[in-house]
Structure 1
Amino acid sequence: MNLLVVLFLLKLLPLTVVETVFKANSGKEIETFSSMGDKLKIVAFGNSITATRSTIDQVFAQRLPSLLLEQGIEVEVINSGIPGSHTGSIEDHDLFKIKHGMDRFETDVLAHNPNLVIIGFGTNDAHIDNAGPDGESRIPLKQYKRNLKFMIKELQAQGADVILIAPNGLRGKYPEYQNVRLKQYVEVVKKLAKRYHTGLLDNFKLFYDYYDGKENRAEEILLDGVHPNDKGHALMAEEISQEIVRIRKLRNQ
């Protein structure tokens, strides 16, 4: 075998390279490991809590690259959050004339061939528009579970890791029966995460623990009783980044 053939074959081998990069705003050199320079591709899929917004400096998805780079993980994050979105389709509940979770799962998630997907739905699914505590949720609980289960299984079949976000509780003007209903959806997320061995951010618990029973503390992390502010997104991003690090370590065992 001549030298040219050997060199050609070496180029085909999946090499792991070490890159030296500079941590943002510090000048400190750190080493990151990647397969031929490829970044971990992450899709953040969800509703207005995932989507970017003008009143927020950085939502959690925008904070992940710098947090993960500190851990030596280079990522590309695609934000596929749309305000008003639930897990179903527009035929299931059409208050918001948009493409919902099942409508756009193929184009907004699978088409990107992600390594990891963060799924954050539930606030809109669980919401009761009228009729008080006995009213119907926009997406019934069983359908919500079925939709999430479908997404998880499709992604895992393609080799992608999944992190589920359980929605945070509502504060301020929202009646407590909305949280009673929402908690049922939170439990579905937690059970699915356990059953399918996905990552989990229990935002309901994370924010509740932050409040520590003090209602006025909600204003510190929520814009309007529903959506996290910058501090709330920073809390979320920190927890999610730790889940990603944990998942990648398991992958590399």
Structure 2
Amino acid sequence: MKTLVCFGDSLTARHEGKDNPRLTEKISFQLPTFRVVNAGVSANTTKDALRRIEKDVLIHSPDLVTVLFGSNDAAVHKKVALNTYEENLLKITRLIGPDKTILITPPPVDEALQPNRKNTELAKYADAVKRVSEETGSYLIDFYKELYAKPHYKELLVGILKDGLHFGDAGYDILANLINDKIVEIESNEEQKID
């Protein structure tokens, strides 16, 4: 059985009132051949991520790792400078291995409910994720673009907290589907290489 580690902040970690983290539960359902490990910790930035990557991610010898940070790095009260954020993501990707890393851009927020985060800023952090993906040859999911393109995206950001950042089931469905599609694509490309 292959191992997928979901590495991130509260968007990865949240249970939304259920017994298990919503993200890993939905992915496990879609990808029954994977053991899915949740390595999400609320309030984390990429600086925190580097401090715990060994014990929370690498120890599992994962086949694939989703990396979703940036919502806190871009926040006014936790700010990690954009160039530092990009450097941290480069380090994270190299530690995991680009061929095993699925970088995910941080999603937009409902600014009316989020005084500490602005979408113009989050878009810059999303662009940094894309640059790291290009530079390292790692996989990319543009979650920011996928959500922001939906006319009713603010409705998808409604979770238990109703804070415009932590989404509920609708948001997790989108994210889980994007991850599932990406992994299916990766797996079929690998099979073609073998054939």
**TM category, shorter:** 0.7 to 0.9
Alpha-carbon shift at residue 176 of structure 1 (Å): 9.4
Q: Which residue of 2 aligns with 1:82?
A: 41
TM value normalised by structure 1: 0.69
Q: Give 1:1-253 correspondences, 5 Å limit.
A: 39-55=1-17, 59-69=22-32, 74-88=33-47, 100-129=48-77, 138-156=79-97, 161-171=100-110, 172-175=112-115, 178-210=118-150, 212=151, 214=152, 217-223=153-159, 224-252=163-191, 253=193
Equivalent residues, number: 187
Q: Which residue of 2 aligns with 1:16?
A: none
* Contact in 1 for aligned 2:156/2:167 (Cα 8 Å): no
Which runs of 5 or more residues in structure 2 are unaligned?
none
Structure 1 residues 123, 251: CA separation in 2 closer, same or farther (over 3 Å shift)? same
Within 2, Cα distance between the matches of 1:102 and 1:203?
22
2:149 aligns to what SS in structure 1?
helix
TM value normalised by structure 2: 0.88
Within 2, Cα distance between the matches of 1:167 and 1:59?
17
Alpha-carbon shift at residue 64 of structure 1 (Å): 1.2
- Post-superposition Cα deviations, 1:33-70, rounded to whole Å, max 9, x if no partner, equal xxxxxx1101100000000324357522221122123x
2:37 aligns to what SS in structure 1?
strand
Which runs of 5 or more residues in structure 1 are unaligned?
1-38, 89-99, 130-136
Structure 1 residues 56, 188: CA separation in 2 closer, same or farther (over 3 Å shift)? farther
Alpha-carbon shift at residue 200 of structure 1 (Å): 1.6
* Contact in 2 for aligned 1:56/1:230 (Cα 8 Å): no
1:167 aligns to what SS in structure 2?
coil
Within 2, Cα distance between the matches of 1:46 and 1:208?
20
Alpha-carbon shift at residue 222 of structure 1 (Å): 2.7
1:77 aligns to what SS in structure 2?
strand
Task: Give the letter for the 1:114 counterpart.
Answer: P
Within 1, Cα distance between the matches of 2:137 and 2:155?
34
Alpha-carbon shift at residue 207 of structure 1 (Å): 1.1
Alpha-carbon shift at residue 181 of structure 1 (Å): 1.4
Within 2, Cα distance between the matches of 1:173 and 1:65?
31
Within 2, Cα distance between the matches of 1:176 and 1:83?
16
Q: Which has the higher helix share?
A: 2
Task: Give the letter for the 1:183 counterpart.
Answer: A
Alpha-carbon shift at residue 177 of structure 1 (Å): 6.9
* Contact in 1 for aligned 2:109/2:157 (Cα 8 Å): no
- Post-superposition Cα deviations, 1:192-231, rounded to whole Å, max 9, x if no partner, equal 1122222222111111122x2x5xx513443220012111
1:50 aligns to what SS in structure 2?
helix
Within 2, Cα distance between the matches of 1:161 and 1:85?
21
